[in-house]
Structure formats: structure tokens, C-alpha cells
């Protein structure tokens, strides 16, 4: 049986005695938001693939199980993931798995490319608001796919995929990636206008090109994909997880201390760096990482507004809200991307936070937080509660660990290595 991470059942929780400074070094592994589309893309590769520096998050495990259910072979080995999808023979995904994982939608493009048909359930994941897949379906339809839906399932079919010009009304990361993958082996050229520019899309381009594809323009609003007949295998190193890096950066700033964060491109976290400097932390940018030094006595970072890359990422809004809640002064949080991404705020209120929410905006008046029993209701909100508990004097608990496990592997051990008092029970 594969060695999985703890299950995150309701009786599991972190017990955190806060108030300790963080010191040392933390190494950032491959970005979860890169890894999941890369695993899906491997379905198109008629050869072996190795993805290096991968953590066993529950999201990664679920995506691998989806690939196994289609006939692929994959396992963790030597700090990475080995995939062999030469004998893929299925086109219908497991309903339970896709219901757990928002990123299961990434399997659509690769399956349509390889099998010319796909049948999936509507994807699940954290309840942070409406995340419709309309842009995915519209973009894939432009390449010649016909979709039908019945109940919770969506089926797509095509005789062949043909390159077209696709214009996205919004820079959707997932839709951009799904269209790139479907277009990789389509006939002719596909041009995606209004494309998202996140570093994870650059990773996908690099991976496909290492496998023999022809993709250009990732990182800009216009991406070109010239179709090829097949893809060969490769060994690929995804970029470091900028969201995990940002989480540790914010945690060090809140708790105080001196932490080297290695394995991330400093340019990928520049929006976080700016806010932490405004709050009073000292950030040193290095090749392959950043160093954070902080007294823990922070001032309000001011206006925090989530935007598509290179703006401040929505995935770090909750951790930054936790920082603002414990900093001196008033901050303003504006969540532009998801309408239900303030679910962590009622938990912060248990700690004495002074936060007023109006629609997608929150006014945060910083004050000293006290310990409390907290419940994580989504992935990034759960990380925010851990940071708040680490910085507050006294003992807190954080339950709902299944959410946190989706994107952070052994988070307690990594903070404990920096000097935090945190255990999983």
C-alpha cells in the first residue's frame, strides 16, 4: 500500500503553543499549482515522465489516482513522481476523486487530445466561491469538441482537434492550461489571446516543449501552440511553490525571527515582498530564494488587493489577512477573484481580531491576538489560522486538517524544524 499522508479526519488537529520566533532554513518543493496540470498533461505522453521535488499532498495523490484509474502507472520515487501513461485506455474519471479535486478538470484537455473523448464529474475542491469551468469548455469547443452534460457529469467528444484562435474574456489560469494541453497535438496553430501569465503556465510550456511540443508566449497574454503528432518522455523540474514560500515568509514576519526560504524564484513572490516590507519586515532577495528577518512587531501593510499575476495572489490573501489582524494599524483587504474567500475571518474573530466584512472587502484593525480553538474550512484559510496560532501567545488548536493537507505536506514538521511548538494529534 502506498504511504499516504495522514487522513485529516475530524479528530485530528494541530496543537500550537504560539509566541516562539522562527529561525533556520526551509526548502520549497515543486509548486502544487504546477504539479497538478503536469500530472494531467503526462496522460498525453507516450513514454515515461519524471517530475522532481514533489511532495505527497493529498491533491497530488488524488490526481495520481485519477491517472491510475485511466490505466496509467505512477508512483512517488526518489523525491519525485514517475509516470508511465503508454497504456492509458480509459476516458471516464472516477466520480469520487474528481469530486474532491478542483484540478481534476485539467484531465479534460489531455484526454480529448489522446482519446478524442472524455467523461468527468464536475470538479470539487475548497468551497471558496463559484469557480465555473465555462471558460474551459468554451475554449475546448473552439478546437472542435462537442460537450454534453447529464447530472453531475460532463462528456466531451471530437473526431479531431483543430487549431483555432481562442480569446479568453478573463485570464483564467486553468482554462489557459487546458487549452494549451488540448492544442499541443491538435492540427495546425492555436493562438490564445487574453491568456493568464502565471509562472505555472510557463512551467507547463517548458514541460511540453521538453517533450517535443511547440508552445511559445507563456508568461504573456498571447500564447501560440503549433500542434505536433506525439510527445516523448522527459525528466522535468517544476518551479518552486510560490504560495508555500509566501506562507513561510508571512509566518516568519508574524512570529519574528530569521528564516532562509530556498527553492523559489524571488521574482515570483515580489508582491508578497512589497507588503512585508511595508509591514516592517526585512526581506533579502537572493538567487533561488529569499531571507526574511522580523522582530514580529509589525505595522499594518495597508491596502491588500488580490489580482492576477504579477499582482498579489488570492491564495495568499488569507495568510496576509492574519498578518494584518495582528499588526498595528488598519489594513484594507479587497478580494477580486473569489466571492467566498473570507471563511477564515470568523475563526480569526475567535482570537480577538477586529475585522469588518462588506461584500468582497474587509477592514482589518490590527490588535494582539489570543489563542483559541480554530477550525480550517479551506486550504489557504487553514494555513492562515496556523500562522495566527503560531504568532499568538498561548495554546491554540486547529482542526479540519484535511483541507490543509491538500496543499501543504507535513506543515507541522516544517514549522517545528524552524523552532515552532506545533504537534499533530
Residues 331 and 279: their CA atoms lie apart, in Å, by 10
**DSSP-derived secondary structure for 375-418:** E--SHHHHHHHHHHHHHSSEEEEEE-HHHHHTT-SSHHHHHHTT
CA distances from residue 61 to 56, 119, 338 in whole angstroms, order as listed: 6, 20, 26
Residues 349 and 304: their CA atoms lie apart, in Å, by 19
- Strands across the sheet with 234-236, in order? 73-77, 80-84, 48-51, 234-236
Q: Which three cell numbers stand for residue 192?
A: 490564445
Cis? peptide before 404, omega within 30° of 0:
no
Backbone CA torsion sign across 310, 316, 318, 323: negative
Q: Active-site residue 224, yes or no?
A: no
CA distances from residue 52 to 106, 238, 239 in whole angstroms, order as listed: 20, 7, 10
Q: Which three cell numbers stand for residue 170?
A: 478573463
What is the three-class DSSP state of 229? coil
Among 347, 319, 339, which residue's Cα sits nearest to residue 331?
319
Contact 370, 377 (CB under 8 A): no
Backbone CA torsion sign across 197, 344, 66, 143: negative
> How large is the angle between the packed helices 134-142 and 173-184, nearest 10 degrees?
30
Among 119, 21, 130, which residue's Cα sits nearest to residue 69?
119
Residue tagged 498578518 (cell numbers): 323
Of the residues 126, 211, 234, 252, which is catalytic?
Answer: 126
Contact 186, 163 (CB under 8 A): yes
Residues 403 and 83: their CA atoms lie apart, in Å, by 26
Contact 335, 304 (CB under 8 A): no
Contact 325, 355 (CB under 8 A): yes
Residues 122 and 113: their CA atoms lie apart, in Å, by 19
Contact 40, 181 (CB under 8 A): yes
Q: What residues act catalytically?
A: 126
Amino acid at each position: 500500500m502506498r504511504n499516504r499522508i495522514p487522513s485529516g479526519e475530524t479528530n485530528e488537529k494541530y496543537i500550537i503553543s504560539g509566541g516562539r520566533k522562527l529561525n533556520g532554513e526551509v526548502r520549497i518543493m515543486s509548486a502544487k499549482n504546477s504539479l497538478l496540470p503536469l500530472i494531467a498533461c503526462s496522460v498525453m505522453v507516450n513514454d515515461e515522465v519524471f517530475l522532481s521535488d514533489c511532495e505527497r499532498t493529498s491533491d497530488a495523490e488524488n490526481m495520481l489516482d485519477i491517472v491510475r484509474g485511466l490505466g496509467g502507472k505512477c508512483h512517488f520515487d526518489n523525491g519525485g513522481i514517475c509516470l508511465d501513461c503508454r497504456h492509458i485506455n480509459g476516458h471516464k474519471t472516477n466520480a469520487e476523486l474528481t469530486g474532491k479535486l478542483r484540478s481534476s478538470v485539467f484531465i479534460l484537455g489531455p484526454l480529448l487530445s489522446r482519446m478524442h473523448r472524455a467523461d468527468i464529474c464536475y470538479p470539487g475542491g475548497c468551497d471558496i466561491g463559484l469557480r465555473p469551468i465555462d471558460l474551459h469548455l468554451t475554449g475546448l469547443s473552439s478546437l472542435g469538441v462537442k460537450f454534453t452534460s447529464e447530472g453531475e457529469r460532463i462528456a466531451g467528444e471530437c473526431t479531431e482537434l483543430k487549431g483555432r484562435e481562442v480569446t479568453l474574456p478573463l485570464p483564467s489560469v486553468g482554462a489557459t492550461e487546458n487549452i494549451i494541453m488540448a492544442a499541443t497535438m491538435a492540427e495546425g496553430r492555436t493562438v490564445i489571446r487574453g491568456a493568464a501569465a502565471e509562472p505555472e503556465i510557463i512551467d507547463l510550456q517548458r514541460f511540453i516543449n521538453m517533450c517535443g511540443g511547440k508552445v511559445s508566449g507563456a508568461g504573456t497574454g498571447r500564447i501560440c501552440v503549433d500542434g505536433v503528432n506525439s510527445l516523448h518522455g522527459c525528466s522535468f523540474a517544476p518551479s518552486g511553490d510560490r504560495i508555500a514560500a509566501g506562507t513561510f515568509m508571512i509566518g516568519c514576519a508574524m512570529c519574528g525571527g530569521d528564516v532562509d526560504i530556498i527553492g523559489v524564484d524571488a521574482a515570483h513572490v515580489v508582491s508578497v515582498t512589497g507588503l512585508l516590507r511595508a509591514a516592517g519586515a526585512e526581506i533579502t532577495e537572493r538567487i533561488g530564494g529569499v531571507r526574511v528577518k522580523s522582530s514580529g512587531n509589525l505595522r499594518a501593510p495597508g491596502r491588500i488587493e488580490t489580482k492576477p499575476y504579477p499582482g498579489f495572489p488570492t491564495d495568499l490573501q488569507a495568510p496576509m489577512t492574519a498578518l494584518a489582524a495582528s499588526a498595528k494599524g488598519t489594513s484594507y483587504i479587497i478580494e477580486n477573484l473569489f466571492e467566498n474567500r473570507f471563511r477564515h475571518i470568523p475563526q480569526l474573530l475567535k482570537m480577538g481580531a477586529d475585522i469588518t466584512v462588506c461584500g468582497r472587502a474587509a477592514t482589518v484593525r490590527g490588535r494582539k491576538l489570543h489563542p483559541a480553538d480554530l477550525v480550517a474550512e479551506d486550504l489557504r484559510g487553514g494555513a492562515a489560522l496556523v500562522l495566527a496560532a503560531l504568532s499568538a501567545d498561548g495554546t491554540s488548536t486547529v482542526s479540519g486538517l484535511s483541507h490543509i493537507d491538500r496543499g501543504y505536506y507535513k506543515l507541522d514538521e516544517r514549522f517545528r524544524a524552524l523552532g515552532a511548538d506545533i504537534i499533530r494529534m
